[in-house]
Structure 1
Amino acid sequence: MNKHINVAILQTSDIHGAIYPLHYGDNTAAEAGIAKISTLIKQERAKSNNVIVIDNGDLIQGTPLTYHYAKYMRQEKNPLSLILNHIGYDGAVLGNHEFNYGMNVLHTAVTESQIPYLSANILHKSTMNPYFGTPYIIQTIEAGVRIAILGVTTHYIPNWENPDHIEELVFEDALSSTKKWVQYIREHENPDVLIVSYHGGFERDLETGEPTEILTGENQGYAMCFEVEGIDILLTGHQHRSIVNQKVNGVTVLQPGSNGRSLGKVHIALMYDDNQWLIQDCYSELLSVEGIEADEAVLALAAVYEDKTQHWLDQPIGTIEGNMLVEDPMQIRIQDNALIEFINKVQMHTAGVDISNTALFDNASPGFKHNITMRDIVSNYIYPNTLKVIRITGQDIKDALEQSAQYFMLDNNGAITVNPSFTEPKPQHYNYDMWEGIVYTLNISKPIGERVVSLQYEGQPIHLEQEFDVVMNNYRAGGGGNYMMYQNKPVIKDIPMDMSELITSYILERGTIQATVNHNWKVITD
């Protein structure tokens, strides 16, 4: 028997529906997408038979193609399921965004997959058994080497997701579930290698152990490495980070970024000694898709979906009179502007309330040109958010504004810049909100927590005990982005339509939209 065996574990995570290597905003080429990843996987399989491929979640949502499929083509097979079947993945883990299009779309994706979905801690409410099937798989490769892969998902999903999408589910604490199942696998399966594939990230600095975020339980990767005995490799995701060739408490860890820009790879060297296989060496690397040709077979599988998506994206919607372009994202966030005011107006009109907040989700958002198409809508409103109206107090509004004000800091020259906590380890520009219906000023020269220097409603200072009905997206209404003041507040109205549809309908009804700025808020430094 060969006493030395090498194994390659290949990982994708946070693909977010990226199939074609392009930017949908303008159809320019992108060094990204699962079609390029497929070529890399083929190359790795050509080198060895001992290759295992795992997707770590957030697969089926995130591009205009997946949105168009979920809204208009759901009678067809899920394109990402077709592609993973074709590539021949060995398993997949559910991510938080898998639930965004509702359980019908997710069920279709799971049932059409020829690969197992691993979900140890997402349980059926009535049986308390894993809802989507098996918690783990055992892959047996050369010489009978047995590799266990346990799938776990961040349990923080109920803080973001539409309750109707997850009403049958219970999300067990990911850390405690991992402890339970790792112990079970070690005792009952006795694998030679045990891998945890966790759709979640790291809550602490990998070297110092210092917290890098508020410890809500959303990301528990660091705790898993220190508190769960028996993990050899921890595959992570969710944070869109590139983490490579690192060990935490002896556990090899990996995170491959997002949108199919890199394929994660863990090298395992095994040696047979004293009637058992031992890990002699284990390290990780990232294989970039830059310069890699897209797999034509994968592109062909998605061609019908892509063609219909492109036709839909080019449909004219209406026109803008005035300027709603994003020329400087920082300026958009420092003083009132027409684009954000327009989004808030749509939200207020839809909800029938007079206070709203929203964000500029990404620095790559282009804003709206004079002639608007669906491509413009989905390029600016990139998430399938719905709306909620919640009843909150003046104190909650002030606390939320203070939370947003943390987005800014002053550099050595006294100029406003972005707080690194909103850019590292993951860009979180979407967690800075701008409001309509109230008048406020944020002074960034003040200490954090004391930056709201003016706050009014209908020309009068807001009383902290006053109650207000405010419309915001469902992610924020659930407390997403550390807006804990919104959690468990009365829901006055739930609006289940996606914001991209609401924006489209608003423009279609009017034909022409005037770009307006009422200057109800500003950010200052003195």
Structure 2
Amino acid sequence: MTVREQINLTILETSDVHGNILPINYGTNEETALGLAKIATVIKKEKDPNPYTLVIDNGDLIQGTPLTYHYIRFANQLPNPMIKILNTLQYDAGVIGNHEFNYGMKVLNQAVHESSFPWLSCNIVHKATKEPYFGKPYIIKSFPNGLKVAVLGVTTHYIPNWENPNHISELAFEDALQSTKKWVAYLRDHEQFDVLVVSYHGGFEKEIETGKTTEPLTGENQAYEICQTIQGIDILLTGHQHRTIAVDSLNGVTVVQPSFNGKGLGKITISLEKHGESWVVRDKQADVIMMDDIETDQEIIGLAQEYEENTQKWLDQPIGIIEGDMSIQDPMKVRIEEHPLIEFINKVQMDAADANISNTALFNNSSRGFSSKVTMRDIVSNYIYPNTLIVLQISGDDIKAALEQSATYFQLSSDGRITVNPNFSEPKPQHYNYDMWEGIHYIIDVSEPEGNRIKELTCNGEPIDPAGLYEVVMNNYRAGGGGEYTMFKNKPVIKEVQTDMTELLANYFLKHKTVRAEVNHNWKVVGGNYPH
């Protein structure tokens, strides 16, 4: 009986790190289980005993935290901190994500230039030549004993729907699925390899278990079709959706998606056996290692120290002044009576998107609003999600339906008090699913049955036309129908603003310096008692 040589190949994936290095929440500076400083501990542990290790970043690396924002705006004469860390950890490749473009091509090209590893994307091409913009779209990684692994990079081609056109004027974004088919065929015909890895900055458009469509087939996410229709892929690394996925086999393809913000590290273990001059895959296992009980790596902390110290100083410097009172003492009252913080956020959204109607939420009950001197830390404490903005074209009926959905947030107690519907607080708090609107006038009457609570709905002094079309700016989560707002699904997208709201709020203060705390009383909640 012939005893064949066997090895285990480990593939490690980060994705959607979004600028997170240290394990902290920048709004509070409290420690939290995320970031490259924790991930580094696992990467070093995995690589140390095993020379057969491949480490890949799947995109959305260089943007997303106050640290990366501060670096780009005020310290870009230094090396990019995210690249510095990936270089130190000896990453084998990176894939271009959609948020890589947010700061413009100069910043992205500099990051690519500083990298000791290649950046891959087979479907981002020169508009004129149609050649891959970032050079070779794949790598062939050679290991001891002749093992060769091909890694092909692919990026969601939906980027032109989000990004500032000036940032991508020289680029074309070809269909990710079709480009993957083309380049997988090219690799088969022109290269020799034992394992084929596709690293795709995109996610799943269908349920992995059933194949049921879960979102419009826009092409933004095509991972399911990639697994089902392209033969020869061993591993599919995914991202973009911020999900935690570990699937040993989807039509023979092993899939991971490692959460986001450095909360998890994707790990795929491949058992291979030597057959002649080639290696044959015998088994594949997928896992996502979460950072909850992982220690921080002090080398990475040291690499980030200068950037972090400067960021912390900047976070506590005033960037604007509030005239009046924009503080919050009672979050329930904010949702019953218009509050200057909500009006301000809506005003910033309308300004950024050039829209006349807007909605937003008070995301949780720990928001304290703004004191007279506003710091960047105040902004990230009050606006806690990395949302971007979308302008949808919706009907008057859609506006009414969305307001009725919001109005289900309230219920009346037996003694006539307005309280929160338990569906919005159990089993987890979902206060972010109650929206408040600007640019229209309306009344929520909690004494009426659900579905019949919106009264006196007008726009510019006229009743809203049920069949009329209106352009409304909202965050990307809501625009996708998140929070049971199904009336927004599949509606025409007029514009997308791909700058995070925290940056938009900061930029507004930097431009205007002083903001008045004011309300225009365009909505109110009635029909019950609430102490004033």
Question: Taking structure 2 as the reference length, what is the TM-score of the superposition?
Answer: 0.82
Matched, 1:487 2:493: yes
C-alpha change, 1:97 and 1:334, in structure 2 (3 Å) is farther
**Structure 1 residues 358 and 210: alpha-carbon distance in aligned structure 2, compared to 1, 3 A threshold:** same
Match in the other structure for 1:123: 125
Task: Give 1:342 shift.
Answer: 1.6
Check conservation: 2:387, 2:477, Cα contact below 8 A.
no
Amino acid aligned to 1:503: Y
Distance in 2, matches of 1:408 and 1:204, equals 31
Name the amino acid aligned to 2:216.
I
* Gap change, CA 1:351 and 1:52, over 3 Å in 2: closer
- Equivalent residue for 1:501, pick from 492, 502, 506: 506
- Residue of structure 2 equivalent to 1:3: 5
Check conservation: 2:424, 2:431, Cα contact below 8 A.
no
Instruction: Determine the structure 2 residue equivalent to 1:57.
Output: 59
* Cα gap change, 1:179 to 1:327, in 2 (>3 Å): farther
Mapped contact 2:407–2:453 kept (Cα < 8 A): no
Residue range with higher mean Cα deviation, 284-293 or 141-150 = 284-293
1:384–1:269 distance in 2 versus 1, CA, 3 Å: closer
Contact 2:23 2:38 in 1 (8 A): yes
- The answer to which of 360-369 and 45-54 deviates more is 360-369
Instruction: Answer whether contact 1:135 1:151 (CA < 8 A) is retained.
Output: yes
| Alignment check: 8 A CA contact 1:477 1:487 kept | no
**Amino acid in structure 2 at the alignment position of 1:244:** A
Instruction: Provide the residue aligned with 1:518 in structure 2.
Output: 521
Partner secondary structure for residue 340 of structure 1: helix
What are the ranges of 5 or more consecutive residues in structure 2 without an aligned counterpart? 413-419, 483-487
Aligned counterpart in structure 2 of residue 304 of structure 1, from 293, 303, 306: 306
1:155 aligns with 2:157: yes
Matches within 5 A, 1:435-474: 435-440=437-442, 455-463=457-465, 472=473
Give SS of 2:169's match. Answer: coil
Letter in 1 for 2:103: Y
Letter in 2 for 1:417: N
Q: One-letter code of the match for 1:499? A: L
Cα 1:499–1:114 shift into 2, 3 Å: same
How many Å apart are 1:76 and its aligned residue?
2.2
Partner-residue secondary structure (3-state), 2:294: coil
Instruction: Name the stretch that deviates more: 373-382 or 223-232.
Output: 373-382
Compared with structure 1, are the counterparts of its residues 222 and 361 closer, same or farther at alpha carbon in structure 2 (3 Å cutoff)? Answer: farther
Percent of aligned positions that are identical: 47
> How far apart are the structure 1 equivalents of 2:260 and 2:181?
27
CA contact (8 A) 2:162 2:495 kept: no
Q: Check conservation: 1:396, 1:486, Cα contact below 8 A.
A: no
Report the counterpart of residue 356 of structure 1 in structure 2: 357
Match of 1:179 in 2: 181
Distance 1:3 1:464 in 2: 71
**Could you say which residue in structure 2 is the equivalent of 1:291?**
293
Q: Secondary structure at the match of 2:178?
A: helix
- Paired position in structure 1 for 2:417: none
Are the equivalent residues in 1 in contact too, given 2:120–2:153 (CA < 8 A)? Answer: yes
CA distance in structure 1 between the aligned counterparts of 2:8 and 2:344, rounded to whole angstroms: 57
Q: 2:34·2:263 contact (CA, 8 Å) conserved in 1?
A: yes
Alignment of 1:95-494 (within 5 A): 95-273=97-275, 275-316=277-318, 317-319=320-322, 321-322=324-325, 324-325=327-328, 336-347=338-349, 355-360=356-361, 363=364, 366-371=367-372, 372-381=374-383, 396=395, 398-399=397-398, 402=401, 415=421, 417=423, 434-440=436-442, 455-463=457-465, 472=473, 485-488=491-494
Give the counterpart letter for 2:505 in structure 1: S
Q: Residue 292 of structure 1: CA displacement? A: 2.3
Unaligned runs of 5+ in 1: none
Distance 1:352 1:275, change over 3 A: closer
TM-superposed deviation, 1:445: 6.8
C-alpha distance in 1 between matches for 2:239 and 2:74: 29
Aligned partners of 2:365, 2:173: CA distance in 1, in Å? 33
The equivalent of 1:93 in structure 2 is 95
- Displacement of 1:275 in angstroms is 4.7
CA contact (8 A) 2:406 2:435 kept: no
AA in 2 matched with 1:242: T
Is this contact kept in 1: 2:353–2:473, CA < 8 A? no
Q: Give SS of 1:223's match.
A: helix
Report the CA distance between 1:260 and its aligned residue: 1.0
Counterpart CA distance in 1 for 2:51 and 2:354 is: 60
Cα contact 2:95–2:121 (8 A) shared by 1 = yes
Contact 1:197 1:236 survives alignment (8 Å)? yes
Distance 1:246 1:524 in 2: 54
CA distance in 2, matches of 1:323, 1:299: 36
Q: 8 Å contact 2:102–2:163 — kept in the other structure?
A: yes
Per the TM alignment, residue 370 of structure 1 is displaced from its structure 2 partner at its CA by: 2.4
- 8 A contact 1:159–1:475 mirrored in 2: no
Cα distance in 1 for residues equivalent to 2:377 and 2:135: 37
Q: Report the Cα distance in structure 2 between the residues aligned to 1:386 and 1:410, rounded to whole angstroms.
A: 24
Instruction: Using structure 1 for the length normalisation, give the TM-score.
Output: 0.83
Query: Which residues of 2 match residues 7-22 of structure 1 at below 5 A?
Result: 7-22=9-24
Query: Shift in Å at residue 472 of structure 1?
Result: 3.9
- Deviation, 1:10, is 0.5
Shift of 1:433: 5.8
Taking the aligned partners of 1:72 and 1:264, their CA distance within structure 2 comes to: 33
Tell me by how many angstroms 1:246 deviates: 3.5
Partner residue, 1:84: 86
Report the CA distance shift for 1:419/1:439 in structure 2 as closer, same or farther (over 3 A).
farther
Aligned-partner residue type, residue 5 of structure 1: I
Q: How many residues align structurally?
A: 507
RMSD over aligned Cα atoms:
4.1
* Alignment-derived partner of residue 34 in structure 2: 32
AA partner of residue 272 (structure 2): L
Amino acid at match of 2:48: A
Aligned-pair distance for 1:318?
2.7
Residues 479-516 of structure 1: CA distance to partner in whole angstroms, max 9, x if unpaired? Answer: 9986654535799xx9x995223431477324xx4354
Q: How big is the shift at 1:239?
A: 1.1
Offset at 1:88? 0.6
Match among 43, 46, 50 for residue 45 of structure 2? 43
Structure 2 CA distance for partners of 1:490 and 1:102, relative to 1, 3 Å: closer
The alpha carbon displacement at 1:18 in A equals 0.2
What per-residue deviation string (whole Å, max 9, x for no partner) do you get for residues 245-283 of structure 1? 442112111111011112111000001235532111100
